[in-house]
Chain A
């Protein structure tokens, strides 16, 4: 092995810094899934009858479905009977103010760099903090409500805004959509809900921070964002989990509804525990994310995926309304023995619809990275446009990068462009930087961050800084 290959391996084997776990007194359901568990979850949450029915319908559908096997992923069989489908930190039942948040939980979030005290936070970001199955607190709720913006946990939304939830739940991702979406629909525990009324520009960034803490549990959260006509919202999502030797399942669903001329910008920095260098442990991340864009609406997904042992995720846009716009910007990093099969689906239905896909895949150590994307132009989509760019960067000799684009065009006026490239960090680039005094590690991190620049530019400022730092840490290690 050449010296530079060895160094790259060292550079890509850094520690996971969010691997700690917190001792929280937890209310946890016994492992296994049947109808009674679905009923238990629903009753724990004191849900209305219609929602229980909806869950049961999803459960029945899931029972009939098979795990998808088309992805380029090698996954040890998942034993759905060994997972606990409900885990909630025990704490005071009603939280009127931040001071009521359990100090242990607060400390955990402080340690994660997400202070839950409103006065200590970045003043323009509201946070919904979710631990295992439940939302523990949502900040800035009152401030947002003054602007008419509803931002709360999914459970609260079901209680306080049942009509809004009932109208939109499952409207973008139906319960039978796919195996993991059906599972989520049956057992989802909590998540975030936000509603931006007509003509309102949300006055601050909304964000949800997901933390898996308990052992042997799955996390199944649901996010629903509804942006009424002429509204605008930017939403951020972050995730971490403790370092554990067993795999943990995370199957989430996110639904976005952007009505006429509305704009939703959804950004994710996903840093679930990736497992160790031998592939032991790590989160299995199976996520269904989809948005529906009505006339002149715009939905933009930006994701930075550095964590998880398995990532199976295709944030998509249904471009239903005329002149609607869909965007997907992605950085996916596969280090250690991580496997990522991720991309997007852009479904063009309306006339003059436009989609842009920029995907940056980085493979290091023994990571496998697959871009899988569908651009579908229906017969009705006159003058649809798509531009796709997939760039892969390989660090080391034992990793892999794969690009699998699907293009289906039913309307001859469509213009679809696809560009792909595969490159390595050149020894000449490293040498050039080192001749200018940088260490090999700094040089590597700079070059990789440069490779991701187009995507990072799409992130809100605070997140872009965090994403850059995360990427550097993920690639960092001790040289020599």
Chain B
């Protein structure tokens, strides 16, 4: 479904992604782990369409060229990104924001828009999923939200947008164990055969709750090792040190399956 081939990204002189390859099939959950500065967030943003990167390579979603699309067109094509740092929009009511977002992609797809009352029903279901109270809908988007509330709001949006491909960028950062449990529960409930997910994280902890089908290790802008969820356990025990030495070799080797 998602096909990433030899993707590079740079900001000015600084090369961040160095020929990244990844294939994500329908219904699969892929975890991407890696040390700070390895390019995890940049990878997420290149998929979502953030401005400011010089990009080469190929990224397709269901055969359509993503790199050629504006961010809003990618959203309409089914790309959703859960932000590591959700942005505050003072004065804009959360429900209004969510409904505008949903109707924007529906319009772009030629579907009918959802009216205010129907939307309230849709959002109530989604809110139960992340254990949010209704007053949440009437507050300004992320303004004055706690870290945990912001992340729950991202999952709420994902539940409402029903994306084809969800990219969750460090959704677990800054969460206490209860919030982590709630968010993981929301994500698991949204797993489906039609929906693929890329879960970016530093820590294995999240993967105790969200069991990925595949785990990839990203170092210096490329995937240096792929495996199943046991790879995450290996990383937890040994850190990334194994992969940071002699990258040239590592990149050329083929890593299939777990090597713990």
Residues of B within 8 A of A454 (CB): 91
Contact A3 B104 (CB under 8 A): no
Q: How long is the Cα–Cα vector from A446 to B104 in the complex, in angstroms?
A: 13
Q: How long is the Cα–Cα vector from A429 to B89 in the complex, in angstroms?
A: 7
**Which interface residue of B51, B75, B76, B101 has the most chain A CB atoms within 10 A?**
B101
B160 → chain A, closest Cβ, in Å? 10
Q: Judge if A449 is at the interface, Cβ distance under 8 Å.
A: yes
Q: Which A residue's beta carbon lies closest to that of B105?
A: A437
Contact B91 A432 (CB under 8 A): no
Contacts A436-B157, A437-B105; A447 near B70 (Cβ below 8 A): no
Decide if the interface of chain A is mainly helix, strand, loop or mixed.
helix
Contact B104 A435 (CB under 8 A): no
Contact A450 B90 (CB under 8 A): yes
Q: List 25 A-B contacts (CB under 8 A).
A: A431-B71, A432-B86, A433-B89, A433-B97, A433-B101, A435-B49, A435-B72, A435-B80, A436-B75, A436-B101, A437-B102, A437-B104, A438-B72, A439-B72, A439-B104, A440-B72, A447-B89, A447-B92, A449-B92, A450-B91, A450-B92, A450-B140, A453-B90, A453-B91, A453-B92
Residues of A within 8 A of B104 (CB): 436-439, 442
Residues of A within 8 A of B205 (CB): none
A100 → chain B, closest Cβ, in Å? 42
Q: How many A-B residue pairs have CB under 8 A?
A: 80
A332 → chain B, closest Cβ, in Å? 16
Q: Judge if A422 is at the interface, Cβ distance under 8 Å.
A: no
Q: Which B residue's beta carbon lies closest to that of A436?
A: B101
Contacts A437-B101, A437-B105; A427 near B51 (Cβ below 8 A): yes
Contacts A435-B49, A438-B104; A452 near B91 (Cβ below 8 A): yes
Interface residues of A in 1-36 (CB under 8 A from B): 3-4
A8 → chain B, closest Cβ, in Å? 13
Contact A435 B91 (CB under 8 A): no
Quick one: CB contact mask for B74-103 with A, threshold 8 Å, 1 for yes? Answer: 111001110100110111100011001110
Contacts A437-B72, A437-B76, A437-B108; A432 near B100 (Cβ below 8 A): no
B residues within 8 Å of A by Cβ?
Answer: 48-51, 70-72, 74-76, 79-81, 83, 86-87, 89-92, 96-97, 100-102, 104-105, 108, 140-141, 157, 161
Residues of A within 8 A of B97 (CB): 433, 436, 446
Contact B75 A3 (CB under 8 A): no
Q: Which A residue's beta carbon lies closest to that of B90?
A: A450
Residues of A within 8 A of B51 (CB): 3-4, 427, 431
* Chain A residues touching B, range: 20 to 34
Residues of B within 8 A of A446 (CB): 89, 92, 96-97, 100
**Which interface residue of B80, B83, B100, B102 has the most chain A CB atoms within 10 A?**
B100
Interface residues of A in 447-461 (CB under 8 A from B): 447, 449-454
A393 → chain B, closest Cβ, in Å? 11
Q: How long is the Cα–Cα vector from A449 to B91 in the complex, in angstroms?
A: 8
Q: Which 6 residue pairs are nearest across A and B when measured between Cβ atoms?
A: A450-B91, A453-B91, A450-B92, A436-B101, A437-B75, A437-B105
Contact A435 B75 (CB under 8 A): yes
Q: Judge if A48 is at the interface, Cβ distance under 8 Å.
A: no
B168 → chain A, closest Cβ, in Å? 13
Known A-B contacts: A431-B71, A433-B97, A450-B91. Give 20 more (CB < 8 A). A4-B51, A431-B50, A431-B87, A432-B83, A432-B86, A432-B87, A433-B101, A434-B72, A435-B71, A435-B74, A435-B81, A435-B83, A436-B75, A436-B104, A436-B105, A437-B75, A437-B76, A439-B104, A447-B92, A453-B91
Residues of A within 8 A of B140 (CB): 450
A455 → chain B, closest Cβ, in Å? 10
Q: Judge if A199 is at the interface, Cβ distance under 8 Å.
A: no
Residues of A within 8 A of B81 (CB): 435
Q: How long is the Cα–Cα vector from A429 to B142 in the complex, in angstroms?
A: 11
Contact A442 B100 (CB under 8 A): yes
Q: Which A residue's beta carbon lies closest to that of B160?
A: A436
Residues of B within 8 A of A431 (CB): 50-51, 71, 87
Interface residues of A in 228-269 (CB under 8 A from B): none
Contact B108 A434 (CB under 8 A): no
A5 → chain B, closest Cβ, in Å? 12
Q: How long is the Cα–Cα vector from A3 to B97 in the complex, in angstroms?
A: 25
B62 → chain A, closest Cβ, in Å? 17
Contact B87 A426 (CB under 8 A): yes
Q: How long is the Cα–Cα vector from A433 to B96 in the complex, in angstroms?
A: 12
Q: How long is the Cα–Cα vector from A76 to B23 in the complex, in angstroms?
A: 65
Q: How long is the Cα–Cα vector from A427 to B141 in the complex, in angstroms?
A: 16
Contact A436 B161 (CB under 8 A): yes
Q: Judge if A428 is at the interface, Cβ distance under 8 Å.
A: yes
B226 → chain A, closest Cβ, in Å? 27
Q: How long is the Cα–Cα vector from A450 to B90 in the complex, in angstroms?
A: 6
